[in-house]
Chains A and B, each alone.
Chain A
Amino acid sequence: MSTRPLISVVDDDESVRESLPDLLNEFGFDAQAFSSAEEFLASDWLSQTSCLLLDVAMPGMTGPDLQQELKVRRQQIPIVFITAHHDETVRPHLLAQGAVECLFKPFTDTDLLHALNTALRP
């Protein structure tokens, strides 16, 4: 059983689901990828997740929808949003709702690591 923190990636984009877990492993985290918010909510990994890397725009339940749903379920998982829409007006809204960070794709590995470290700070 690993003691490394688990980072869950929720993104409908396959190349993100393929590439991010490897990078997260290189950072020293465990990683699980999910193609939708619904899939993540239904999984057993929810309770073990230390941080959520969450896409904003997805078919079905969106990233902000999942953020609200987790609030309702009183699941206090730190969330780092990742989005390909460079909309500066969305970011403050997401942060106000409690997100740790909102990264615009493509982001650098150091920006990601910095956001994760902030999220996992006790």
Chain B
Amino acid sequence: MKIPQEIQIRLLREMLRIRLVQLKIESLYPLDEMKTPVHLCIGQEALAVGVCAHLTREDYISSNHRGHGHYLAKGGDLNRLIAELYCRETGCSKGRGGSMHLVDRSVGHMGSSAIVGGGIPIGTGLGLSIQMQKKNRVCVVFFSDGAADEGVLYESVNFAVFKRLPVVYVYENNQFSVCSPISARQAGENIFHSIAPHLMLTRKVDGNSVLEVYEAAGVAVDRAREGLGPSFIEGKTYRIRGHAGAGSDVHLGYRSREELAAWESRCPVASFRHHLLAESWISEESLAEMEKMINAEIEEAFRFAQESPLPCGEDLLQYLYRE
């Protein structure tokens, strides 16, 4: 499949934007003004971007605690994301959620769960709602290898296959649950790769190659729209930063410097940038211009967040119920 130049440039722009937002968060995090545990997805941008490139605003996603990339790739409002990290009233969750609980209903992001695996059945249920209302939508469920430890994945995928739900399960295998490597937790490759092809499409892709992700997701999303049921895409990637907070955690010793360096050299953003330059599909000048514009947008978002009001203690009980 030949992916048009225009789309490829957009993929790069989206990945770069997510990366730059996170680097900015990381640089300011030590100031302790963002009083919420951030889980950065640096190094994992290709999965969110390559998948969400196929989605419309009406499509749904279900996200997790490491969800800044999903939120932005789906079109979530940047100002409201940063304001949420500053726990402001103008945040996407009005300062009630924090970094792990992002939402933007206007673009089909229906909320992210910080219980590992918790978003999987909810995304499956969103798929059921699409099917029951006969809407031309799909739901993408993003989850990690930690969630693949959970039984709820098995339960949910079984139901989706049984009902032929328009759901795409995107397994972001970043190889770590906090400090535990996947090799210490799972016996072998995920059981759904062994499912009969007529029941569900499964794919394993390089999660650091946005083009591979884009191609596989395109097939999966089309199948879902055509009523052919769910798909299961595993993208192997790597969590470059520590589990939570800013900076490297390589000093903790649960992974080697060599391993980290090897994956850093496979950076999905840098490698794709290199690819587009080599193809002469983008110039250094236009890349610099792109980066400048993104940085201006980020500066504005942080200013918006920092100047926004904090929620009032008096409003503590608000939003428990929808009236």
A binds B: no
